[in-house]
A = this chain, B = another copy of it.
Amino acid sequence: MIKVGIVGGTGYTGVELIRLLSRHGGVSLQAITSRKDAGMPVAEMYPSLRGHVDIAFSTPAEAELDKCDVVFFATPNGIAMQEAEALLAAGVKVIDLAADFRIKDISEWEKWYGMSHTSPALVASAVYGLPEVNRERIKSARLVANPGCYPTAVQLGFLPLIEAGVVDVGSLIADCKSGVSGAGRKAEVHTLLCEAGDNFKAYGVGGHRHLPEIKQGLITAAGKSVRLTFVPHLTPMIRGIHATLYARLTKDVDVQSLFEHRYANEHFVDVMPAGSTPETRSVRGGNACRIAVYRPQGGDTVVVLSVIDNLVKGAAGQAVQNMNLLFGLPEGLGLDIVPLLP
């Protein structure tokens, strides 16, 4: 059994990670730390875990994370970069679900995240944990930067087109819609049911932290600079991201076939039949990314629809997928979940 620790298990990403790990079969959950809630049984905060998880939150001191095989950081940005080094030095593998190690350009990261980076060297050695791109590198990694939710949905949607060189990368558009759980479990006014419910709005139009992360991935795929307009929106539901992507084709290509070939061997990317419209609920609670691709009116604009559960493929599920790769387990272990519908 792989000994697992979680730093910061009180948020939505944390409880989702616990849900997935509790049914994984190959892991033993050693500790879940929370300074603020140390001593409280995890199942008291999340009664959905009653009967499934007996552990209580512990202080970092009690947790003995350095005796784990792997530690997940489900913390706010800026924590993992302070604590990862000691764990790595102790031989513990680290998967960060926050943004600390995602962006290679340190100054770019510092600009968007508004703090100084304390471990630039680790950034260089971290592997960006998108298995559909970096599978082999993840397998031998010590430190995995788990991708953000929007970046997962957007990159998986754009990659076949960009890798094949069939679109103009100078005019990409990603119009993305997220459920409210993407904002976490913090007490804030704008995510109250009475503010976010029965309502739809854009946010971060002038600039969102996931923009540089997405661009970094697309630039790598394209081998050259890209221009991307990224507009996130908040939609009144709990889980789910729907990315609607627009690009201009530069070659006349069978896009359906292109996508099917790119993802033929990817267990968690489901290219749906032509004419489908993937629903976010079709992946609710599961680790799949479902994609449909269109050329409306047969024109040269290609439209890609890409949906994920932001807490699963967009966070905790992908983290477990990365853990499986890190330890040579079957990639889908513990992730064979039928989404909850209705």
CB distance from A177 to the nearest CB of B (A): 6
A93: Cβ under 8 A from any B Cβ: no
> Which residues of A from 41 to 64 have beta carbons under 8 Å from B?
46-52
Return the CB mask of A83-124 against B: 1 if under 8 Å, else 0: 000000000000000000000000000000000000000000
Residue of B with least CB distance to A187: B187
A260 CB, min distance to chain B CBs, angstroms: 14
Contact A185 B192 (CB under 8 A): yes
Stretch at the interface among A68-76, A194-202, A316-324: A194-202
The answer to whether B192 and A277 have CB atoms under 8 Å apart is no
Contacts of A278 in B (CB 8 A): 47, 201
Indicate if the CB atoms of A340 and B48 lie closer than 8 Å. yes
Report the minimal beta-carbon distance from A35 to chain B, rounded to whole angstroms: 17
For A194-238 the 0/1 string (1 means CB < 8 A from B) is 111111111101110000000000000000000101110101111
Chain A residues close to B by CB (< 8 Å): 12, 15, 19, 22-23, 46-52, 171, 173, 175, 177, 179-181, 185-189, 191-203, 205-207, 227, 229-231, 233, 235-240, 242, 244, 246, 248, 267, 270, 272, 275-286, 288, 290, 292, 294, 296-297, 299, 301, 303, 305, 307, 311, 336, 338-342
Protomer copies:
4
Contact of B294 with A342 in the complex, beta carbons under 8 Å: no
A296 CA to B281 CA, complexed, in Å: 31
How close is A105's CB to chain B, nearest CB, in angstroms? 16
Question: In the complex, are the beta carbons of B338 and A23 less than 8 A apart?
Answer: yes
Complex contact A12–B342 (CB within 8 A): yes
13 A-B contacts (beta carbon < 8 Å) = A12-B194, A47-B278, A171-B248, A173-B173, A180-B192, A186-B189, A193-B238, A197-B236, A197-B238, A198-B238, A199-B240, A203-B277, A340-B340
A23 in complex: contacting residue of B201, B284, B336, CB < 8 Å:
B336
List 19 other contacts, CB 8 Å, given A193-B193, A199-B280: A12-B342, A15-B341, A19-B340, A47-B272, A47-B279, A47-B282, A48-B338, A48-B339, A50-B272, A173-B246, A175-B244, A177-B233, A193-B196, A197-B238, A197-B342, A205-B277, A227-B301, A233-B242, A285-B340
Name the one of B19, B205, B231, B283 contacting A48, with C-beta atoms under 8 angstroms. Answer: B283
For residue A231, which residues in chain B have a CB less than 8 angstroms away from its CB? 244, 296, 303
